[in-house]
Amino acid sequence: MVELSHSNLDKTTVIQQIISSCFGAIITSLIVTPLDVIKTRLQAQSNPFAKGKCFVYSNGRMDHICVCENGNSKAWYKKPGHFKGTLDASVKIIQREGIKSLWSGLPPTLIMALPSTVIYFTCYDQLSEALKSRPDMDDEYVPILAGSLSRFGSVTVVSPLDLIRTRMQYRKLSYKQLYTCISSKVATDGWLSLWGGWSSTLLRDIPFSAMYWSNYETFKKMLCKEVGAQEPTFLIAFTSGAASGSIAAVLTQPFDVVKTHRQTGLWESETLKIPQRHCTSTWAVMRKIVTKNGITGLFAGMTPRLFKVAPACAIMISTYEYGKSFFSHLNEKTD
């Protein structure tokens, strides 16, 4: 097997890795967001969102639960339209509302995606190097451990911010009102209440990350060997990212379904003033879904998720690798 040369990480600083991850997150969000905006508009057209109901919105880097605030058509996801399909919707939205409408809802979600992505990718690279330097560590396990630990860190840090962002989004709270709301929640339920939904997110994201990075590193080495490349090209990183992201998405789909059920149930219970049932653990929700819809219910929405996850993973990792490669060569020139 052709061994890859030393990773670009050997020649890049932490700041350069952070810049590369930001670059990747922004590019990914700019490309993937229009696809989800169109999907949401088509969904609202065929099945109008009721007041207080929730839907999942993605910017390519993160999924977000959005709560419908009112029954009128002023919100971006409720604007009227008669679309026959994805292409027809994209053309008509641009013609009637301007091209900016394809990025509706992006700014608030991008604020969440950037810190999460920076922590995730930078920690992965740093942990990989630290684990590889250990003489007792098998290289095959490095991506699994580094991917799992970095995702654990990013989810844990961002969870309270996501809770705060969602509350601001559907209640239109001022910062003073938000502080009062969070303070009362902490006083009543304790600090751990700020990490509501954390466990179900980890159950989906840690296995996803472990499989993603393990497969990505394997595919990358295979393709580099196939073409005789010493370093992964943009196309190799793109292909490896798409393939590994697709495999991880399929295998973790049941946990994604459960997470969405739990989150939508939580926010709808608050906005519609419906008492939250006690059986809301991950396994209880999973049993409920299987009882109601069978085992196939745990894989509901897999095709739309694949259409988001595969390109998002491919674009993110290839632009991140490109950014590191750019800084690597820049550093060599300045040495």
DSSP per-residue string spanning 254-302: HHHHHHHHHHHHHHHHHHTTPPPPS--SHHHHHHHHHHHH-GGGGGTTH
DSSP reduced 3-state for 72: coil
Interval 145-180: pLDDT, tens: 999 999 999 988 887 776 666 565 555 556 676 677
Residue 82: the pLDDT is 81
Q: Where are the beta strands (DSSP E) in the chain?
A: 54-58, 63-67
Sign of CA dihedral 204, 208, 211, 214: negative
Ramachandran region of residue 105, left (φ > 0), alpha (ψ -120 to 50) or beta?
Answer: left
What integer best gives the mean pLDDT of the chain? 80
Residue 72: the pLDDT is 53
Task: Report percent pLDDT > 70 for the chain.
Answer: 77
**Between residues 27 and 269, which one has the greater pLDDT?**
27
Answer whether residue 23 shows pLDDT above 50.
Answer: yes
Interval 206-252: pLDDT, tens: 999 999 999 999 999 999 999 988 888 999 999 999 999 999 999 99
**Between residues 36 and 177, which one has the greater pLDDT?**
36
**Between residues 4 and 16, which one has the greater pLDDT?**
16
Answer whether residue 335 shows pLDDT above 80.
Answer: no
Residue 8: the pLDDT is 45
Mean pLDDT computed over 117-140: 91
Residue 265: the pLDDT is 64
Give whole-number Cα distances, 238 to 49, 118, 232, 306, 320, in Å.
Answer: 36, 19, 10, 15, 10
- Rounded Cα distance between 257 and 297, Å, is 8
Residue 159: the pLDDT is 79
Cβ atoms within 10 A of the Cβ of 57, count? 20
The pTM for the full model equals: 0.79
Q: Considering only CA atoms, give the Rg of the chain.
A: 21
DSSP reduced 3-state for 57: strand
Residue 122's pLDDT band, with cuts at 50, 70 and 90, is very high
Interval 51-80: pLDDT, tens: 667 677 666 676 766 767 655 556 777 777
Can you give the residue ranges of every domain in the chain?
Answer: 46-71+81-103, 105-196, 211-334
Quote the Cα angle for 43-45-46, to 5°. Answer: 70
Residue 40: the pLDDT is 77
